[in-house]
């Protein structure tokens, strides 16, 4: 009887490849934290960027190989809190916001960083609980990897151009708080999940991908920062455009 009962129970499998990619993304986020604590901000930013790439791969690999699991989804969310919540907040705090202590506003710096972490955790919790009802082509609120990308590419661009974090404290404060609030907003963002979801893509799409890589290679920090800022602003802009059209009609 026991053997028959066991056979009827669904197996909660843990698959190696997608979870290995998630672990790699988690390690990249941990590496970014250590690098920021040691003052290597460019390495920290690149660590988060690598985590974003790996995070994008693990879900696609799981779907292509039919190895999705509840364990993998939960593990991915926990790794995202570290890589796209704690790591970017610590990087921007160590690089710039900690300078508020010299102006007598030390609480403002860590409060902004904590707000970002809390919003990232809330964003992930909302995504997990509403994933079955949502249209997978779109996100509600800025995705945590995109929010993290805005912060770390700002740091990367500034370090690359020789600008110190103390010179950009107001900018860092606005970006940290702004991306945090966008994560928990109700603005709609295109998810890009339908791109590359099939084995075959059009020649024009392939050509566009090539042009994107060439364009980014011209000046990776500036181009990446500009691209992620435009994406972060696309939600509010699309909302205002739809509101304006409703008012006109």
Mean pLDDT of 98-110: 86
- Phi/psi of residue 188, nearest 5 degrees: -95, 135
**pLDDT score recorded for residue 102:** 78
Rounded to a whole number of angstroms, the distance between the first and last alpha carbons of the chain is: 68
For the chain, give every domain's residue range: 10-248
Q: With 70 as the cut, is the pLDDT of residue 199 above it? A: no
**Backbone φ/ψ region at 139: left (φ over 0), alpha (ψ -120 to 50), beta:** beta
Apex CA 155: angle with CA 152 and CA 159, to 5°?
A: 140
**pLDDT score recorded for residue 11:** 46
Distance separating alpha carbons of residues 237 and 249, to the nearest angstrom: 18
Specify whether the CB–CB gap between 183 and 235 falls below 8 A: no
Pick from 46-50, 59-63, 225-229: least confident = 59-63
Mean pLDDT of 132-136: 58
Q: With 50 as the cut, is the pLDDT of residue 10 above it? A: no
Specify whether the CB–CB gap between 89 and 111 falls below 8 A: no
Tell the CATH superfamily of the 10-248 domain.
CDP-alcohol phosphotransferase transmembrane (TM) domain (1.20.120.1760)
Apex CA 156: angle with CA 152 and CA 162, to 5°?
A: 145
């Amino acid at each position: 009887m026991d053997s028959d009962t066991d056979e009827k129970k669904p197996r909660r499998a843990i698959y190696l490849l997608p979870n290995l990619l998630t672990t790699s993304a988690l390690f990249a986020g941990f590496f970014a934290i250590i690098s920021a604590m040691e003052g290597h901000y460019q390495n920290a930013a690149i660590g988060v960027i690598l985590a974003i790439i790996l995070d994008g791969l693990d879900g696609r690999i799981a779907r292509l190989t039919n190895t999705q699991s509840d364990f993998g989804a939960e593990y991915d969310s926990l790794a995202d809190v570290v890589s796209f919540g704690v790591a970017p907040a610590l990087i921007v705090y160590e690089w710039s916001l900690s300078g508020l202590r010299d102006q007598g506003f030390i609480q403002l710096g860590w409060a902004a960083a904590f707000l970002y972490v809390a919003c990232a955790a809330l964003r992930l919790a909302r995504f997990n609980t509403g994933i079955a009802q949502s249209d997978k082509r779109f996100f509600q609120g800025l995705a945590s990897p995109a929010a993290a990308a805005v912060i770390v590419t700002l740091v990367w661009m500034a370090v690359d151009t020789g600008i110190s974090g103390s010179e950009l404290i107001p900018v860092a404060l606005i970006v940290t708080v702004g991306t945090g609030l966008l994560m928990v907003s109700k603005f709609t963002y295109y998810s890009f999940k339908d791109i590359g979801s099939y084995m075959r893509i059009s020649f024009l799409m392939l050509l566009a991908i090539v042009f994107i890589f060439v364009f980014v290679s011209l000046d990776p920090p500036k181009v990446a920062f500009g691209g992620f800022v435009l994406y972060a602003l696309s939600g509010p802009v699309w909302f205002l455009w739809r509101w304006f059209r409703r008012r006109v009609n």
